[in-house]
Amino acid sequence: MMCSLKSSILALVFVQTLLSSSSATSETLDKTFKQCLNQNSKLHIPFSDTFFTPENPSFTSVLNSTIMNFRYLLPSVQKPVIIFTPLQETHIQAAVTCSKQLGIHLRIRSGGHDYEGVSYASEIDHPFIIIDLAKLRNITIDIEDETAWVEAGATVGEFYYRISEKSRVHGFPAGMYNSVGMGGHITGGAYGSLLRKFGLGADNAIDARIIDVNGRVLDRKSMGEDLFWAIRGGGGGSFGIIIAWKLKLVRVPPIVTYLMIKKTMEEDDIKVLNKWQHVCDKFDDNLLIKVTMSATDPDEIGIRCATIHYQGLFLGKTSRLLQIMGRKFPELGVSRKDCLETTWIESTLYMGGYPYGTSLDILLQAKANFRSYFKAKSDFVRKPIPVTAITGLWKRLKQDNGAVIIFTPYGGMMNRISDTAIPFPHRKGTMYMIQYVSSWKDGKKSENLHMNWVRKLYKFMKPYVSKKPRTAYANYRDFDLGMNEKGNTSFKTASFWGYKYFKGNFKRLVKIKTVIDPGNFFRHEQSIPVLGIEPGNFFRHEQSIPVLGIEPGNFFRHERSIPVLAV
C-alpha cells in the first residue's frame, strides 16, 4: 500500500482545514501537493512547465487551451485548484496517489471536447485538480502488424496524419473532427466516416495502458477482460486514467470518393431527406452519407434559411458510386461534379468540414474549429420518422440562429456487432443517429434562448425516436439526462442516464466499477456509480471485509492477484 488508511483520512482532514481559510492556505496546498508528487514520482518533475495554480499567469490560458464549450469557463463555474500536465507515466501515478491522499477530486483531460466540461470543470463543491494529458501524445505506428499505440493526449487528426505518413492504404474508424482527443474519444465509442464499414474506434481497440485507483499501470492482460470491456465505450473518467490505446488499423483503398451536395432547404428537399432515411443504413458498407441541416444568414435580413449538406465517403471510385446512387438514391441527383476522387487522409479533412485544397498540416495543429458556448443532445432512430416530423425539424431549425442538426447513418458493420460486445449498445435495428446542437458567442446573454430551443426540439422529437429507454450517445454527454448528486453516486439516480447511454450494459458497468474502484475515487457528474451505500459491500459480503476510507480496493485486488505492470 502506498499510504495507510489512517494517513489518508488524516490528510483529508488536514486539507479540508486548509481549504476552509484564507488564500495563503491554497499556497500551502500547492506546496503539500508538490511535495507529495516529488515523493511519489520515480522521475523528476519540472514543475515550472507542468504545474499551474490560479496565481500563475498562464493558468487561464492552460485551462482554456483545449476546451470546446465556453459555458464551462464562465466565471461562475468552479475552477481547478491545480492543473497538472504530466510528462511521464510515473508523474500520473504520483498524481493519483497524491489526489487520493490529500482528498482532492481529480478530473482527467485528454482533448477537452467533453460536451459538459467534465474534464475541466466540476459542479461538485469540492476542490479538484485537472490532470491534463496534452503532453502525452506519442503515436507509434506498426504497419507490418497493422496496429498503433496512441497516447491519450494525441488528437484524432494527429493519429490519422501519422497513419498516412506510413501508408496510403490504412486508416482508422474514429471521429470526423481532427481536434478530438483520443483519450476521451475511444472511452465513449468514437464513430466517424468509416463506421458502416468497420464499426467504432472502440470496436477496434485491442489493448490499453491504464492507471488504476491504486496508481498501478495495467495493460489488457493485467487489467482483465472485464475492465478492458468497460473502458471501450463505458464513458471516460469512471475507471482510471487511460495513458494509451493500442488500435487495430483498417485497410482503405488508395482512391476513395468524397461526395458533397449542398441544397437550400425547400419543399422538395424534405422529400429527398425522407428518401435518405429509408436508404441510408442499407447502402453498400463502403458508402456513408451524413446529412447536416443548419440555419443560415440569421440576424441580418430577418429571414432565416436552412441549408442542407449531404456529405459522403465512398471507399471506391466515382463511377461505382454514381451507379449506386443512380440505383438506390436517384432523388439526390448526384453527378460527377459533386464527387472528388482523393485519398482517405484527404477525405478526413473534407468530412470534417475543411474546404478542398486544405493542407494536411492542419491535422497536426490540434486546432479546434467549433469553440463556442453550446448545448447538444442526441437520439437514435429505429424506424423512419414521419414527414411531418421532418417538416417540424426544418421549421424549428429556422428559429435558432446557431442551430445545427446532424444525421449519421448506421447499418453495415454496426448491425453485425452485438449490443453487448462493448458497452456501446446502439447496434442492430438502429437506422441513424441525430444530433441537435445550438451554439452561440455571447456567453450568458443568449444562453437561455438557445438552451430552451434545444430542449424544446428534444421534446418535440420524443414520439419519433427510440423508446424505453430513449437512448443517447455517451460521447455526447448531456446533463439534462441526470447527474450524480454532489458527487455521491447512486445506482438509482445514475440509472436515468445509464440506461440511455448503455442500455442493459449499464448493470455490468456498475458491477465492474464496484470491483475496480469501490471507493469511487474516479467520479464526476455522470460517472458510473458504485453499488450499495457503503462502497464495496456488494462484492465483499462473502469475505465480510469491512470497508473504510478512501482506498478500500487493495485487499480485494490482493486476493485476485492481479499482476502489476510498472509501479
CA–CA dist 391, 274 (Å, integer): 10
For 82, left (φ over 0), alpha (ψ -120 to 50), or beta?
beta
CA angle 128, 114, 366 (to 5 degrees): 105
Q: What is the grid cell recorded at 411?
A: 447499418
User: Does residue number 369 form part of the binding site for ligand NAG (CB under 6 A)?
Assistant: no
User: Does residue number 493 form part of the binding site for ligand NAG (CB under 6 A)?
Assistant: no
Work out what residue 485 binds among ligand NAG, ligand FAD, none; the CB cut-off runs from 5 to 8 Å by kind.
Answer: ligand NAG
Site string for ligand NAG, 25-64 (x = CB under 6 A): -----------------------------------x---x
Among 417, 437, 435, CA closest to 426: 417
CA–CA dist 559, 296 (Å, integer): 61
The span of 21-29, 37-45, 233-241, 393-401 binding ligand FAD (CB under 6 A) equals 233-241
Site string for ligand FAD, 149-188 (x = CB under 6 A): ---x----------------------xxx--xx-xxx-xx
Residue 105: partners with Cβ closer than 8 Å, 6 or more residues away: 99, 122, 124, 126, 127, 128, 129, 487, 523
CA–CA dist 311, 315 (Å, integer): 14
User: Does residue number 321 form part of the binding site for ligand FAD (CB under 6 A)?
Assistant: no
Which of 136/403 has CB closer to ligand NAG? 136
User: Does residue number 86 form part of the binding site for ligand FAD (CB under 6 A)?
Assistant: no
Q: Using the rule CB under 6 A, which residue among 475, 489, 520, 537 binds ligand FAD?
A: 475
Q: Considering the complex, what minimum distance in angstroms separates the CB of residue 71 from ligand FAD? A: 12
Q: What is the DSSP letter of 69?
A: B
Contact (CB, 8 A) for 149 and 245: yes
The span of 207-215, 327-335, 481-489, 510-518 binding ligand NAG (CB under 6 A) equals 481-489
CA–CA dist 255, 252 (Å, integer): 8
SS3 502: helix
Q: Considering the complex, what minimum distance in angstroms separates the CB of residue 111 from ligand FAD? A: 2
Contact (CB, 8 A) for 297 and 304: yes
Work out what residue 21 binds among ligand NAG, ligand FAD, none; the CB cut-off runs from 5 to 8 Å by kind.
Answer: none
Which of 26/193 has CB closer to ligand FAD? 193
User: Does residue number 7 form part of the binding site for ligand NAG (CB under 6 A)?
Assistant: no
Among 430, 501, 494, CA closest to 188: 501
CA–CA dist 24, 554 (Å, integer): 35
The span of 311-319, 483-491, 502-510, 535-543 binding ligand NAG (CB under 6 A) equals 483-491
Q: Considering the complex, what minimum distance in angstroms separates the CB of residue 79 from ligand NAG? A: 10
Work out what residue 349 binds among ligand FAD, ligand NAG, none; the CB cut-off runs from 5 to 8 Å by kind.
Answer: none
Q: Using the rule CB under 6 A, which residue among 53, 78, 88, 274 binds ligand NAG?
A: 88
How many Å from the N-terminal Cα to the C-terminal Cα in the chain?
Answer: 11
Q: What are phi and psi of 288, to 5 degrees?
A: -130, 125
Q: Which residues bind ligand FAD (CB under 6 A)?
A: 68, 107-115, 118-119, 133, 152, 175-177, 180-181, 183-185, 187-192, 236-237, 241-242, 370, 475
